[in-house]
Amino acid sequence: MFKKIATIIDNFSPGLQKIIRNIGWLMIEKVFAMIVNFSIVIYLVRYLGVENFGKLSYCISFVALFEAITKLGLNGIVVRNLVREPEAKNTILGTAFILKVLGSIVACSLVIISSAKFNYNQELHTINMILAWGLIFTAFDNIDYWFESQVNSKAISLIRSIQLVITSALKLLFIWLNFSLIAFAWLIFGDYLLKAVLKIWIYSQYRFSIFSWKFDFARAQLVLRDSFPLILSSVMITIYMKIDQVMLGNMTNSVAVGNYATAVKFSEIWYFFPVAICGSCFPAIIRVRKESLKKYHAKLQQLYDLMVAIAVGIAIPTTFLAKPLLTYLLGTEYAKAGIILSWHIWAGVFVFLGVARSKWLMIENLTIFNFATTSLGALTNVVLNLWLIPLYQGVGAAIATIISYAVATYLSCIFYTPMRQTGLMLTKSLLIIFRWRQNLIYLNQIRKVFKNKSLR
């Protein structure tokens, strides 16, 4: 089977082969992670119970509201700059590292202050502080950006898989030893640290050293100027992706949060697909943009079509299987989580498209629109949660999530003239099932690949 796949890939251009192999490594890693996480979540949710799992999920979401500050919107910008200026690698990475360390310190401080002010439960406040200090180690995510710019995810995928195995084994050990909820918070902190150590190690295996990184104040100013809209949009993205669990916890109880968080775990487990595919295609799309606008737009449309096809392919069976699956795996007390999942899974369609659209905004340097659209989505989510959570609890939060994602990713394109062409492209993707002519073209392209393979 693997020989056949390799033969098919050999028919593609060298650039496309590199992208496919890169996506392959990311997919192997993410599928492995999905299987491991799927198994561990079942044990963890059963062990902690709905209420304690709800508490932990609430704290994770609370800290996540501030995590966007640590990233400073630098991901795509650092990758873009590394592709354009490979000779300035150490300065680009060093500057981004210092900026992210400073951002992490600010985020950590805000978490501790906010938690002390709004959380009267001492246990929740303690967990928030533990998780907050782990944010400092996210500065080493810069190493991921270098591998992404090289379209080389093999090494980083392997070390992330090692980290996952170690962390998962520790979770099982903690469950076996009957550890407390606080212990699992410390385990999440340790996971942040372990990721950083492993990334530094794999970077050194390529004969590079983080001690060669250099900070450049002028470059930092330019990077922050480009990333400022992305920082704001990242904060808004985090709000409209995480605020539901925080609001649910404040407006209902930990049991409701536990059911909702369980559904979200199973729903978001698929979100690695758009990140892996779009991340691997990003450098190639940047290059195509320089060659031909026609080819560039064709590639973007193909990417949008692929995103919708994958997302809908996941959502349809999940809608019907969610409740019996979670009831079978976790017990009857999680039946409500299954109902929530059957709704929440459809948010994935707009998440997949949103990841792809964000790459286009990055290439066109229209990141200010990313902030505007995500702000609209965040506002929509908060307003809908205030209305729907008191009526339907977790299901209401799921419906609010779907609508807010649709507003931010798709409907917002109607209001901004520079984005109307993209809005049309997204519309075509959402209607992919009715585009028979285009589907026949895609099928013929696939047949040609297999036909060429059989003739070799």
- 124-128: long-range contacts (C-beta < 8 A, 24 or more apart)? 124/55, 124/58, 124/59, 124/62, 126/182, 126/185, 127/55, 127/56, 127/59, 127/181, 127/182, 127/185, 128/59, 128/62, 128/63
Q: What is the mean pLDDT of residues 326-336?
A: 84
- pLDDT at site 2: 41
- pLDDT at site 151: 62
Residue 228 has pLDDT above 80, yes or no: no
Q: Can you read off the two tokens belonging to residue 301?
A: 């449309």
> Residue 176: what residue type?
W
- pLDDT at site 142: 84
Residue 5 has pLDDT above 70, yes or no: no
Q: Measured between alpha carbons, how far is 188 from 151 in angstroms, rounded to an integer? A: 29
Mean pLDDT computed over every residue of the chain: 82
- pLDDT at site 265: 85
Residue 454 has pLDDT above 60, yes or no: no
Residue 86 has pLDDT above 90, yes or no: no
Q: Measured between alpha carbons, how far is 149 from 82 in angstroms, rounded to an integer? A: 6
* 26-74 residue pLDDT tens: 667 677 777 787 788 888 888 888 888 888 988 888 888 888 788 777 7
- pLDDT at site 319: 94
- pLDDT at site 51: 85
> Residue 221: what residue type?
Q
Residue 237 has pLDDT above 70, yes or no: yes
Residue 282: which residues within 8 A CB-CB, separation 6 or more? 76, 79, 148, 359, 362
CA distances from 252 to 89, 244, 248, 258, 386 (A): 49, 11, 6, 11, 12
| Residue (of 109, 23, 54) closest to 259 by Cα position | 54
Q: Can you read off the two tokens belonging to residue 414?
A: 């109607």
Q: What is the mean pLDDT of residues 322-337?
A: 86
pLDDT-based confidence at residue 377 (cuts at 50, 70, 90): confident
- 252-256: long-range contacts (C-beta < 8 A, 24 or more apart)? 252/389, 252/393, 253/51, 253/54, 254/50, 254/51, 254/52, 254/54, 254/55, 254/58, 255/50, 255/51, 255/54, 256/54, 256/393, 256/394
Highest mean pLDDT, choosing among 75-79, 291-295, 391-395: 391-395
* 405-425 residue pLDDT tens: 999 899 888 777 778 888 899
Highest mean pLDDT, choosing among 108-117, 200-209, 242-251, 390-399: 390-399
Q: Are 98 and 220 in contact (CB under 8 A)?
A: yes
- What pTM was estimated for this model as a whole? 0.72
pLDDT > 70 in the chain, percent: 88
pLDDT-based confidence at residue 446 (cuts at 50, 70, 90): low
> Residue 50: what residue type?
V
Domain boundaries defined on the chain: 2-455
- pLDDT at site 96: 85
